Chain A
């Protein structure tokens, strides 16, 4: 391992500055072992994903004769079939709509609720905060049977609302738990200054709090979106009509209906993976920060 450095770091910022100016050597430099482990981890992690991507370019005969082989020749028909079937696009569209509606509801309602819970003083504030926090303990699984019957009675089965509204409701606790400390941390001086300038508390919320909490809103929004995009249990019970189903349902159905067509299933699954992975790559910093915040919460 690298020898310990004796020289103190050249600069020591007086205030805790954001990460970049970090004396790097102190964490120890990576040896060969580290790279070996890193490669092993990367292969283990990406292996199944690559298998699916490449498997989609092979024929079932190729997959059967040598599961670990590369496409030879490359077969495009699996992907073309999925992309031209129309049902894939319908599923992707449904997933998008449900996820967007869920995200919009939970973000707007969440920040509205977090604001008074963070910055007003009123009797019952702590009790309400506790109520939402306790909501973390109630997973959708516990409520699924009554929820299913209730949505059936409300004629919300096979509608986007039937999935989006409960999902948003169950995402509220984590949203409020993340946003409340975020809003509490805004300096009091800001509010005082705004008040002096004649802003009401509502004005302060709209003009100062909302713009400043965009990072927090993006974090909770991303968490809600990903959770909705991936959710299975609720759509499984609520969306029986194929025209309304979301991607996870479609993947599960396709995989059981085309069990013999492994290459087709892999192509379908790969295409279903892409939106989530692209979205993740686009906002991965936010997810990481959000989780970091959640842990430190």
Chain B
């Protein structure tokens, strides 16, 4: 940000307020450079100090075996990475994250879309519904997790509800059974995050011009046909962005798992992030934990890029144009 080419063509005559010029007339290009620097400096310094430096450090630490106290001199190259990839618990954690990524989209997309389409119709209390649906998203994962912890405890509300429905035989150790703990976590995550999907879809629906509906209805299209051939295709960009946000969130999942299971039972719900914290701050294996952090980032980055290339690419101009009704 050194060379400044001025295009705004400000006819500047007065002095810059607050910044007294050293000479009577500072050339405008220089002044602009100064302004750019001063405006950007605080954000850049903050960002460099607390984002860029730690991220780079994570890469450096990952090549050492280090407990964070003594000098960092035990260079081990890529050993930490090899160790992580050989560790069954870490590999399982990656699988858990991927399961959560896929299930989140598979569950929340149809459910969220259906509810959004229903709520988008003329009805009483639509505003109230919007607020209700979004409320869980606003709660801290910790708070939601603690509430669900007591709902799910043996003999808790979930069991009681199943009992009264005559499904008492289905009650399980929801968070204690390694076979199902991950799916229990999934249910809680759905409760917490479905509202975001609904709200985003509703926001996207507001952007669908009503003219289209009218035109389709004039052509005799049914409600479902209108949704299938006009609304959902037009909602495409919103859905794709939501799925992206959901994916990134799922890959970094920590709070909810930490509260509900701490990664247990028997590592059945470990995610990359809980594994990372477990190895890092709990066992002081800072070098190894940094390697895990870099792997977490690498996996997220690769998936993000693949998604960008395969799916978000469709959102080039024209791609979102409504398809013709009919096949």
Binding site for B on A (CB under 8 A): 1, 4-6, 8-9, 19, 22-30, 33-35, 37-38, 41-42, 44-46, 48-49, 51-52, 55, 64, 66-68, 105, 108-110, 112-113, 115-117, 119-125, 128, 131-132, 135, 137-139, 141-150, 165-166, 168-170, 172, 176, 191, 195-196, 198, 200-203, 226, 229-233, 237, 247-249, 251-252, 255, 262, 265-266, 269, 272-273, 276-277, 279-281, 284, 287-288, 291-292, 295-296
Chain A residue numbers with a CB within 8 Å of B13 are: 198
Q: Which of B150-166 contact A (CB under 8 A)?
A: 150-151, 153, 155-157, 159-161, 164
Task: Report, nearest first, the 10 A-B pairs whose CB atoms are least far apart.
Answer: A169-B50, A30-B123, A113-B43, A146-B57, A143-B54, A4-B217, A230-B140, A292-B203, A248-B142, A146-B54
Q: Is the CB of B156 within 8 A of A202?
A: no
Which segment, of B100-108, B178-186, B251-259, faces chain A?
B251-259
Bound: A266/B277 CA distance, A: 27
Q: Which residue of A6, A149, A252, A296 has the most chain B CB atoms within 10 A of its CB atom? A: A149
Q: Is the CB of A49 within 8 A of B46?
A: no
Bound: A231/B53 CA distance, A: 21
A-B contact pairs, 14 of them (CB 8 A): A38-B129, A45-B136, A119-B8, A128-B1, A137-B300, A139-B297, A141-B296, A145-B281, A145-B286, A176-B43, A195-B11, A200-B14, A201-B35, A288-B203
Bound: A141/B223 CA distance, A: 45
Q: Which of B30-70 contact A (CB under 8 A)?
A: 32-33, 35-36, 39-40, 42-44, 46-47, 49-51, 53-55, 57-58, 61, 68
Q: Nearest-CB distance from B180 to chain A (Å)?
A: 19
Bound: A8/B40 CA distance, A: 52
Q: Is the CB of B46 within 8 A of A144?
A: no
Q: Is the CB of B143 within 8 A of A48?
A: no
Bound: A51/B160 CA distance, A: 13
Q: Which of B277-294 contact A (CB under 8 A)?
A: 277, 280-281, 286, 289-290, 293-294
> Which of A146, A232, A233, A262 is in CB contact (< 8 Å) with B290?
A146
Bound: A93/B77 CA distance, A: 46
Q: Is the CB of B8 within 8 A of A201?
A: yes
Let me know if B18 is at the binding interface, CB within 8 A.
yes
> Which of A24, A46, A170 is in CB contact (< 8 Å) with B50?
A170
Let me know if B229 is at the binding interface, CB within 8 A.
no
Q: Is the CB of B155 within 8 A of A255?
A: no
Q: Is the CB of A143 within 8 A of B58?
A: yes
Q: Is the CB of A277 within 8 A of B135?
A: yes
Chain A: interface secondary structure?
helix
Q: Nearest-CB distance from B63 to chain A (Å)?
A: 13
Chain A residue numbers with a CB within 8 Å of B276 are: 141, 144-145
Q: Is the CB of B131 within 8 A of A281?
A: yes
Chain A residue numbers with a CB within 8 Å of B281 are: 145, 148, 237
Q: Nearest-CB distance from B273 to chain A (Å)?
A: 5
Size range of the interface on B?
35 or more
Q: Which residue of A23, A105, A284 has the most chain B CB atoms within 10 A of its CB atom? A: A284
Binding site for A on B (CB under 8 A): 1-8, 10-14, 16-19, 32-33, 35-36, 39-40, 42-44, 46-47, 49-51, 53-55, 57-58, 61, 68, 114-115, 118-125, 129-136, 138-144, 146-151, 153, 155-157, 159-161, 164, 191, 195-196, 199-200, 203-204, 206-207, 210, 213-214, 217-218, 220-223, 226, 237-238, 241-242, 248, 252, 254-255, 258-259, 273, 276-277, 280-281, 286, 289-290, 293-294, 296-297, 300-301, 304
Bound: A106/B35 CA distance, A: 19
> Which of B5, B130, B149, B252 is in CB contact (< 8 Å) with A141?
B252
Q: Is the CB of A291 within 8 A of B200?
A: yes
Q: Is the CB of A149 within 8 A of B277?
A: no
Bound: A213/B142 CA distance, A: 33
Q: Is the CB of B8 within 8 A of A191?
A: yes
Q: Is the CB of A269 within 8 A of B204?
A: no
Other than the given A30-B123, A109-B42, A291-B196, 6 more pairs (CB < 8 A) read: A4-B218, A29-B121, A49-B139, A122-B32, A288-B130, A292-B203
Chain B residue numbers with a CB within 8 Å of A28 are: 121-122, 223, 226
Q: Is the CB of A125 within 8 A of B143?
A: no
Chain A residue numbers with a CB within 8 Å of B49 are: 165, 169
Bound: A286/B150 CA distance, A: 33
Q: Is the CB of A284 within 8 A of B134?
A: yes
Chain A residue numbers with a CB within 8 Å of B294 are: 142
Given known A67-B155, A146-B290, contact A262–B150 (CB-CB < 8 A)? yes
Q: Is the CB of A26 within 8 A of B213?
A: yes
Bound: A35/B128 CA distance, A: 13
Q: Nearest-CB distance from A253 to chain B (Å)?
A: 10
Q: Is the CB of B297 within 8 A of A142?
A: yes
Q: Nearest-CB distance from A201 to chain B (Å)?
A: 6
Given known A144-B293, A170-B51, A200-B17, contact A266–B147 (CB-CB < 8 A)? yes
Chain B residue numbers with a CB within 8 Å of A121 are: 4-8
> Which of A29, A42, A67 is in CB contact (< 8 Å) with B157?
A67
- Residue of A at shortest CB range from B37? A116
